[in-house]
Amino acid sequence: MGHVYLSRSVGSAAEEFSAQLGRELRIGSTSSDPPSREEFLEGVRGAEAILSLVTDRIDAQLLDAAGDQLKVVANVGVGYDNIDVAAAQERGVTVTNTPGVLDDAVADLTLALILATTRRVVESDRKIRTGEPWIWGPQDYVGLQISAGARLGIVGLGRIGMAVAKRAASFGMEIIATGRRAHDDDAAALGVRPAELPELLATSDVLSLHCPLKPETRHLINQYTLAAMKPGSYLINTGRGPLVDEQALADALDSGHLAGAGLDVHEFEPQTNPRLRAMEQVVLLHHIGSAGDKTRYDMAALAFRNASAVLNGEDPLTPVTH
């Protein structure tokens, strides 16, 4: 009987649910740093299950290193662009993810980014920490008041997008969105109007990205779509970093065409764009959208349940189909 390999410690959920696996649990790294590629390849050898994080590259090489007894890759995260799903399926390996459990945490952070960016919260905080003398001024740090009927464009109205729409509606924002769910009754009940991307770009005061990363959505936000955005608008990305061409975004901000941006995810994560780092009107975070304490626990717990189900010959709770 093989073991279960977890690339990095995920806290108390590992202790609570590891017994359900019926196999030895081996953890690649107990620190915040991931195992090296060589350590990862060695650690998965003979594994029946791999519990991976979104920073782990699960490709054909790693699947082959694990061996024929590998049954499941359970990703601790809703996104799975770090996994070569086709290669896994070719080898008869089930892939799972953790949808649903992080919707509220990501939506909370999206609203936090919208407010922090449009109301220049971080910019003001940075300035006051310098200790320089200041006095209140009527034109200082004036930003977009979203409660005054600002329009939010949601690109990809899925579960997280709906949770964002619910919060934005409570702030009095007008909401338009792309995606199949934009036509649903629950969207209409929130006042969401379905629209196509060109309208979102041209008319949204805040554009928020919630679509999955696929070949056709990579660099969805590029020099052309940025140029089509409403002058003085804001871009928010809590989806996937490569949805945005960051050099093109920096150009749009440099020119003044966009008023600001808030990014929780980055094109070349964990590297961040030096031009964006230097801009006061940009808020940058460490991919913390799911970092609510309950959500991180629930994500890990669901990944363990998925792995346990497959190892016990049962259907996983949240399989990835490709």
In a domain? residue 40? yes
User: pLDDT tens for residues 125-159?
Assistant: 999 999 999 999 999 999 999 999 999 999 999 99
The reported pLDDT for the residue numbered 70 is 98
In a domain? residue 160? yes
How buried is residue 33: exposed, middle or buried, by Cβ count under 10 Å (0-12/13-18/19+)?
Answer: exposed
pLDDT grade for 15, boundaries at 50, 70 and 90: confident
User: pLDDT tens for residues 162-172?
Assistant: 999 999 999 99
pLDDT grade for 12, boundaries at 50, 70 and 90: confident
Evaluated on CA atoms 303, 309, 315, 317, the torsion sign reads: negative
Work out the average pLDDT over 170-195: 96
Q: How far apart are alpha carbons 199 and 174 in whole angstroms?
A: 14
pLDDT grade for 19, boundaries at 50, 70 and 90: confident
User: pLDDT tens for residues 43-88?
Assistant: 999 999 999 999 999 999 999 999 999 999 999 999 898 999 999 9
**Are both 55 and 110 inside the same structural domain?**
no
Percent of the chain with pLDDT strictly greater than 90: 90
Catalytic machinery residues = 240, 269, 287
CATH of the domain at 15: 3.40.50.720
Is the pLDDT at 322 greater than 90, yes or no? no
Domain boundaries, position 183: 103-284
The reported pLDDT for the residue numbered 180 is 87
Each as own residue / partner, the long-range contacts of residues 308-317 (CB below 8 Å, 24 or more positions apart, any chain) are 308/17, 308/20, 308/21, 308/22, 310/49, 310/71, 310/72, 310/74, 310/94, 310/96, 311/4, 311/21, 311/22, 311/23, 311/48, 311/49, 311/71, 311/72, 312/22, 316/72, 316/74, 316/94, 316/96, 317/96
Residue 73 neighbours by CB under 8 Å, 6+ apart: 49, 50, 52, 58, 63, 83, 88, 93, 94, 95, 96
Q: How far apart are alpha carbons 200 and 178 in whole angstroms?
A: 8
* Number of domains the chain contains: 2
- Please report, as a single letter, which amino acid is at residue 43: G
**Are both 67 and 199 inside the same structural domain?**
no
**Are both 215 and 110 inside the same structural domain?**
yes
User: pLDDT tens for residues 241-251?
Assistant: 999 999 999 99
**Are both 223 and 237 inside the same structural domain?**
yes
